[in-house]
Chain A
Amino acid sequence: MRALKVFPKVCTGCEICGIICSMVHYEQVRETGMRIKIKHRYPELKSPVFQPQVCRNCDEPKCVEACPQDALVLDEKAGEVRIIESECDGCGQCVEACPFDAIWVDPVSGKAIKCDLCNGDPQCVKYCNFDAIQYAPLSAE
């Protein structure tokens, strides 16, 4: 099992990950379509100044628990939380439930979006110049 791991200490807040994410999923740059975002701690700039927000595929995902439509499922074998788009009505309860602010409702589609690991080949990782996002086996393995 592999997952995206972020390293806020080396993140420069350049947001290239989000730009790439949107381009890969929609062939356009749209903030509301980004499944990885950077939280800036302005104006105090306390560490970590830049916190990448991306789905961690929790073992006991709060979003799955919160979804009244059963539109979010945990694929235990793959270790991945998946969105069944046809079932999602965009109510946003998953957004409220996520402790990592890593799931959003896309105002364009009206459905929840989150990192889908680009079908096992996450593109943002390739463009990060500072290795602040890595795709690696989980340490538990």
Chain B
Amino acid sequence: MLGYAGKILVVDLSTGSIDRKTLDHEVLKKAIGGRGLGIQFLWGLCPAKIRAFDPAVPFMVFTGPVSGTPVLCASKHVVITKSPATGGWLETYSSGHMAAQLKYAGWDGIIIVGRSEKPCYLQIQDEQVEIKDGSFLWGKDAFEAETWLRENISESGGHMAIGPAGENHLPFACINSDFFRQCGRGGAGAVMGAKNLKAIAVNGSGGIRVAEPNGLLAKFGEVIKAVKESVKVKTPYTYGTPFTVDVCNAGGLLPTRNFQSGIFPEATGRMDKESFREVVVADHACTGCPISCGKIAEIQKEPQKGSRVEGPEYETFALLGSNLGIADIDFVSRANILCDRLGMDTMSMGNVLGFAMECFEKGLLTKTETDGLDLRFGNQEAALQLIEKTARRKGFGALLALGVKKMSPEIGERAEKLAMQTKGLEFPGYDPRGAFGAALTYSVNPRGSCHRRVWPPTKEIVGDAPPYTVEGKAEMIKGLYDDRIVPQHLIVCDFPLLMVPVPAEYYAETLSMVTGQEFTVERMYWVAQRTEHFIRMLNCREGFSRSDDIVPDRILEEPLPEGPAKGQCVGRDAFQKMLSEYYALRGWDENGVPTPETLARFELSL
């Protein structure tokens, strides 16, 4: 099939061997690419129930058949591995030049196993693949490492680099590409760190061939026109994702002071979409994207006046802003740059700090433990100091570096209720008490609590679904979820689906035009659902069960104290009812295990 390079690079860092796997046509028809290929290989290659840092765990980067082609927003790559945060499935996406360069170099993906004896980096130039001594890069922050790659290998190459957080195996260490784009969630950077792999640099001189070049160009022109004419797209273009601060604040689900409240009035006029717009100095679109939701912001005040950051995105404003009781764009930008340099997920870092601050205010932590820091909500300087200490596991930072789930038993029983996480992954920036469907999304997502399969406000806040009920939510969430996982197979950004909107037919047509193999909308959805069952089986194999598909007590039992969702909590029984309905719709049994009939229907013989 065209579009694909047709082969995967296989590197063993323990032995230094470099090999390849040819992609089988029949596998591709059932996997397409991205997370579809990811589960295929993770299932086969990763021994069950081993630690994420075991050298046997494969660390994999995948593209998809349309990556790099003129299909809307096809610049994503995905890292698939075992999550150090959850111990289960991890998929984490980023953009930049990695996907296209891998394809130019003639690879659909990379599988890396083993552990290098010394720090190393991987350099790929077409067929020439070298594991190089990276000792001199070890200890550098992620920006310094990537700058070295740009200056010494190629300015326009595909790059991935980790910072000190990855080297120190933090369960929320991320991987940077093009400096400001991250495979952010779930600790993929720590898996690289555990393999002593500091960076990957890819350059390709070849081309990506497609079956119908003229048809594809015509379609691309049409979809760009649709973007231009779309009214919906104007909001993310004008404000970037931070427009969501206003959406969530008005909806009463903006995480505030570690999810103790869902509104943050202080944000109005100081950290909302209009005030963000004032500090935006340029737009940045991912490669192949005519929308450009990426914004570049400039810090207005000293210190760091004049420094620029790509972002901050909404999630960072929510979790390092309102969630810490801080309404200051400059602070969030500074914290964002620091996390990017250290190679840490801003979302989990925000949760960790918010959790520690609530513990401090409730007296569960005192200055004795916090290295003397006054850790009340709103303390910006303490937060910045702790970000640095966390990445380096220094002092009180060593506790924060565990992530909220593992921190709580260290602090004490009362802290457990305050840890906002599912399966070990910290919460995204939406309080499910303000949109009950989010509780289901967070609980069934295989990588832990995550907003990337279903954007919580879609129907319950900006649509017309009633937010404070579980009735009808299982069906609603399953529908939205399936829509969203289709693009994650191609791989393309899932934003245009919602924000233009671009119909599923566009993706089926262009996938067919790229590959020369007919893909219908039904076929794409079949593949996407097959992958979901397959991933579920992997997590079952890892020991996950219904009891892991849960959100914290706070969401189930503690009513929100103020705002539009005042008095709301999901309720234990209501949540379990919604979960059972979802399982039934998916074809999973009461324990959340795909039934034999479901597996047979999706041609999974595991």
Query: Are B285's CB and A30's CB within 8 A?
Result: no
Judge whether A49 and B288 touch: CB under 8 Å. Answer: no
Q: B147 near A: Cβ within 8 Å?
A: yes
A129-B296 CB under 8 A given contacts A12-B283, A12-B284, A28-B213: no
When distances are taken between beta carbons in the complex, the residues of chain B under 8 Å from A30 are: 104, 205-208
Residue from B101, B155, B228, B292 in contact with A12 in the complex, judged by beta carbons closer than 8 Å: B292
Q: Using a CB-CB cutoff of 8 Å, which residues 262-285 of chain B contact chain A?
A: 281-285
Q: Which residues of B contact A47 (CB under 8 A)?
A: 281-282
Q: Please, how many angstroms separate the alpha-carbon atoms of A32 and B217 in the complex?
A: 19
Contact indicator A29/B205 (Cβ below 8 Å): no
Interface flags for B289-312 (1: CB within 8 Å of A; 0: not) read 110101010000000000011100
| Distance in Å: Cβ of B302 to nearest Cβ of chain A | 18
Is B27 close to A, CB under 8 A? no
Task: Please pick, from A13, A28, A39, the residue contacting B208 in the complex, using a CB distance under 8 A.
Answer: A28
Within 8 A of A (CB), among B238-286: 281-286
Verify A42–B178 contact, CB threshold 8 A: yes
What 0/1 pattern do residues 30 to 54 of A give for CB contact below 8 A with B? 1111000101101111111110000
Tell whether, in the assembled complex, residue A16 and residue B204 are in contact, meaning their CB atoms are under 8 Å apart.
no
Say which residue of B288, B296, B308 sits within 8 Å of A19 (CB atoms). Answer: B288
- Contact of B285 with A13 in the complex, beta carbons under 8 Å: yes
Report the Cα distance A45→B294, complex, angstroms.
13
B449 part of interface (Cβ distance < 8 Å): no
B69 in contact with A29 (CB, 8 Å): yes
Interface-central residue, A26, A42, A46, by most chain B CB under 10 Å: A42
Bound-complex Cα distance A37 to B97 (A): 13
Residue from B143, B207, B227, B310 within 8 A of A29 (CB atoms): B207
Q: Which B179-224 residues have a C-beta within 8 angstroms of A?
A: 179-180, 204-210, 213, 216-217, 220-221, 224
Main secondary structure of the interface of B (DSSP, over half): mixed
CA distance A55 to B346 in the complex (A): 41
Q: Which of A14, A23, A44, A50 has the most CB of B within 10 A?
A: A14
Question: Which residues of chain B are near A26, meaning CB under 8 Å?
Answer: 207
How many whole Å from A32's CB to the nearest CB in chain B?
A: 5
Partner of B217, one of A14, A23, A43, A44: A23
Interface string of B93-116 (1 = CB under 8 A from A): 000000011011000000000000
Query: Is the C-beta of B119 less than 8 angstroms from some C-beta in chain A?
Result: no
Contact of A44 among B68, B155, B292, B308 (CB under 8 A): B308
Which residue of chain B has the shortest Cβ distance to A44 in the bound complex? B308
Whether the pair A14, B288 counts as a contact (CB closer than 8 A) is yes
Pair A42/B281 contact, Cβ less than 8 Å: no
Q: Is the CB of A14 within 8 A of B282?
A: no
Q: Is A107 a contact partner of B205 (Cβ separation < 8 A)?
A: yes
Quick one: given A26-B207, A28-B213, A50-B284, are A43 and B290 in contact (CB under 8 Å)?
A: no
Q: How far does the alpha carbon of A40 sit from the alpha carbon of B286 in the complex, in Å? A: 12
User: B224–A129 contact, CB under 8 A?
Assistant: yes
Cross-chain pairs A/B with CB under 8 angstroms, 10 sampled: A13-B285, A14-B292, A15-B287, A29-B68, A42-B179, A43-B146, A43-B180, A48-B282, A129-B228, A129-B292
Seed contacts A12-B292, A44-B308; 6 additional CB < 8 Å A-B pairs? A16-B288, A16-B290, A20-B220, A28-B210, A48-B282, A49-B284
Binding site for B on A (CB under 8 A): 12-16, 19-20, 22-24, 26-33, 37, 39-40, 42-50, 107-108, 126-127, 129-130
